[in-house]
Amino acid sequence: MEDGNFRIRDARPEDCAAIMKMIVELAVFENSEDYSHLHTCLLKCSFPVRCLLNLLKLLFFLGLQKDILEPGSIVSCIVAEYKRPEVETFEVIGYSVFFYTYSTWKGKVVYMEDLYIMKEFRGIGYGRIFMRRVAEIGLEKGCQRMQWAVLGWNKPAINMYKTINSIDLTATEDWHMYTMFKPQLLTFVTNS
Residue 14 has pLDDT above 70, yes or no: yes
Mean pLDDT (the chain) is 83
Residue ranges of domains in the chain: 2-148
The Cα 19–Cα 24 span in angstroms is: 9
Distances, alpha carbon 56 to alpha carbons 13, 32, 49, 69, in Å = 18, 17, 10, 19
Q: How many Cβ atoms are within 10 Å of 184's Cβ, its own excluded?
A: 10
Residue 118 has pLDDT above 80, yes or no: yes
Please report which confidence band the pLDDT of residue 52 belongs to, taking 50, 70 and 90 as the band edges: very low
- How large is the C-alpha radius of gyration of the chain? 18
Active site residue 82: no
- pLDDT tens profile 131-156: 999 999 999 999 999 999 998 999 99
Residue 79: exposure state from Cβ atoms within 10 A (0-12, 13-18, ≥19): buried
- pLDDT given for residue 115 in this prediction: 95
* pTM of the predicted structure, to 2 decimals: 0.80
- pLDDT tens profile 151-179: 899 999 999 999 999 999 989 988 888 88
Question: Under CATH, to which class is 2-148 assigned?
Answer: alpha beta
DSSP sequence for 65-92? IIIIISTT-SEEEEEEEE--TT-SS-EE
Q: How many Cβ atoms are within 10 Å of 97's Cβ, its own excluded?
A: 21
Among 95, 116, 161, 178, the active-site one is 161
Residue 101 has pLDDT above 90, yes or no: yes
